[in-house]
Amino acid sequence: MAIDLKSNPVVAALPGGGWIAEFKQDDGSVETYPLVAWLVLADGEMIPMDASASGDAQDPREVANFQRMYHPDATGTGCRPRAACDASGGSAPVRGDT
């Protein structure tokens, strides 16, 4: 996602807060990486950011093998326990949920 700094600038950055991005590898294994920050745009949208091994920050949803983001301690009122954001932007259960 390209951020248009003229019409919708970043107004704040918040810590990743324990959120995790999950990626499925070609061999079927899953790798997880912590989100390092959330960018807050002027319109209120929040963009998750993780960092590559080389130190480049990126929105994990833009990576081809992105599966989902989740917080390992998340529970909510009116939603399924430990809900996660999947690649389509919807809710998906975290492994182990019943």
Write the pLDDT tens digit of every residue in 3-54.
Answer: 787 899 999 999 999 999 999 999 999 999 999 999 999 999 999 999 877 8
Band (pLDDT 50/70/90 cuts) for residue 77 is very low
For 19, residues 6+ apart whose C-beta sits below 8 A from its C-beta are 34, 35, 38, 48, 69, 70, 71
Q: Does some domain include residue 70?
A: yes
Please give the pLDDT value at position 37.
96
Q: Does some domain include residue 76?
A: yes
Count of domains observed in the chain: 1
pTM exceeding the 0.75 threshold for the entire prediction: no
Amino acid occupying residue 73? D
Domain that holds residue 73: 10-93
- Residue that is written with structure tokens 């326990």 in the block: 81
Are the CB atoms for 23 and 31 separated by under 8 Å? yes
Q: Does some domain include residue 98?
A: no
